[in-house]
Structure 1
Amino acid sequence: MLLEGELVRLRALEPEDADEIHTWMHDPEVGRWMNNGYPRSRAQIRKRCEERPVNTYELVVLGIETGGKLIGIVDLRDARPEVGNAELDIYIGDAEYRNGGGYGTDALRVMCRYGFDLMRLHMITLWVVAENERARHVYRKVGFSEDGRHREAFVAADGKRHDMILMSMLKGELE
């Protein structure tokens, strides 16, 4: 199945993607607003890519690609068919495509369309650090609304705590 937008296409991750993912995981700008856990070696990431489970309704992890180049990752996780909800995560790892150009916006639209149309979801949610205004702007642009705030729930690499914003989009609200 090919999931294409105007600028990107989404595809299953391959073991060959491990080197790129390793580079992104060690980029402070990529990890600034993410819970990356502990550092992982290139070999550990490669092994994880090789042993990655098959995408299922409960967890769909896809690479974001443009011009044949992997630039990021998007997923829908914790999907529950009995309620039709899933949670979305996305990041653009490649610095060349991270600051404008619409790649993240296009990937969001493609993944949300996939969730609503093919997975028959009713709602997609996500969490974003309150200070990450650039991401919040993109989420609002595609149709997400701010639902609530979880105070001091995110701990940055420097130990500083930040509020998290819960955002959601219902089927029919995708712009």
Structure 2
Amino acid sequence: MDAYGELVRLRAMGVDDAEALWRWNHDADVMRWMDEGYAETVAEVAKWLEERPPNAYGDVLFGVEAEGTLIGLVRLHGAEPEAGIADMDIYLGEKDFWGKGYGTDAVRAVCRYGFHKMRLRKITLTVAAENEGARHIYGKVGFVEEGRLRGTFRSADGQWADKFTMGLFESELRLTS
């Protein structure tokens, strides 16, 4: 089932998305604030997408689409019905779409999906303390800073930095800026 924002459509990802995902994962600007894994080939990314279990309550992966183009991904994972809490990851890989409201819209859309379709009670995330752009977006949507994880993010220059944990209850979700 797709989810929609005002600017974006969230849809299931498939093997056809492997090349874009591979390209984003090998772009230093895109990966600046991400915990990077190891280098993979396009074929390995395609295999991961093909073998990945289908979207289900515990792990939902969406491609973020805008203007007919796949521009990023967003994921709710780690959800258990007993707790009703999921962790959120998001990034936009198409830099032409940065700073134009697509990220904020995607966060709102996935949070609405999580609260309404998955019946979550809370969505959490971690974000590098220095990633002011992402922290601004999360704050606009209603996420609240809940704690600081000291020295848990390794920056591109090899320095260890802090991360913030943030959380959002449905009653805190801001549907407009």
TM-score, normalising length from structure 1? 0.97
Q: More displaced, 84-93 or 36-45?
A: 36-45
* C-alpha contact 2:2 2:12 (8 A) present in aligned 1: no
In structure 1, stretches of 5+ residues that fail to align are: none
**1:171: which partner in 2?**
170
Match of 1:40 in 2: 40
Counterpart Cα distance in 2 of 1:157 and 1:130: 14
Please give the alpha-carbon distance, in whole angstroms, between the structure 1 residues aligned to 2:61 and 2:117: 15
Partner of 1:125: 124
Distance apart, 1:34 and its partner CA: 0.7
d(CA) in 2 for partners of 1:136 and 1:2? Answer: 26
Partner residue, 1:81:
81
1:44-59 aligned at under 5 Å gives the runs 44-59=44-59
Could you tell me which amino acid in structure 1 is paired with residue 92 of structure 2?
A: I
Quote the Cα distance in structure 2 between the aligned partners of 1:37 and 1:22.
Answer: 12
* Residue 162 of structure 1: aligned partner: 161
1:1-175 equivalences in 2 (<5 Å): 1-98=1-98, 100-175=99-174
CA deviations on 1:88-120 (whole Å, 9 max, x unpaired) are 00000001112x110000000000001011111
Structure 1 residue 36: Cα displacement: 1.7
Letter in 2 for 1:170: F
One-letter amino acid of the counterpart of residue 127, structure 1: T
Distance in 1 (alpha carbons) for counterparts of 2:25 and 2:76:
19
TM-score (norm 2): 0.96
Give the letter for the 1:45 counterpart.
Answer: V
1:35 offset after TM fit, Å? 1.1
Q: Cα deviations across residues 50-80 of structure 1 (Å, max 9, x unaligned)?
A: 2221011000000000122100000000001
Q: Which runs of 4+ in 1 moved over 6 A?
A: none
Q: Which moved more, 1:33-42 or 1:4-13?
A: 33-42
Task: Write the distance in 1 (CA, Å) between the matches of 2:170 and 2:105.
Answer: 17
Distance 2:55 2:146 in 1: 28
CA distance, structure 1, for counterparts of residue 150 and residue 4 of structure 2: 37
Match of 1:80, SS? Answer: coil
Letter in 2 for 1:150: L
Q: Structure 1 residue 22: deviation in Å?
A: 0.7
State the percentage of identical aligned residues.
52
Q: 1:119-173 deviations in whole A, cap 9, x for unaligned?
A: 1111100000000000000000000000110111111232200100000001211
Deviations 1:25-48 (A, max 9, x none): 000011111112111111111111
Q: Tell me the distance in 2 between the aligned counterparts of 1:115 and 1:131.
A: 27
Using the TM superposition, name which of 142-151 and 38-47 deviates more.
Answer: 38-47
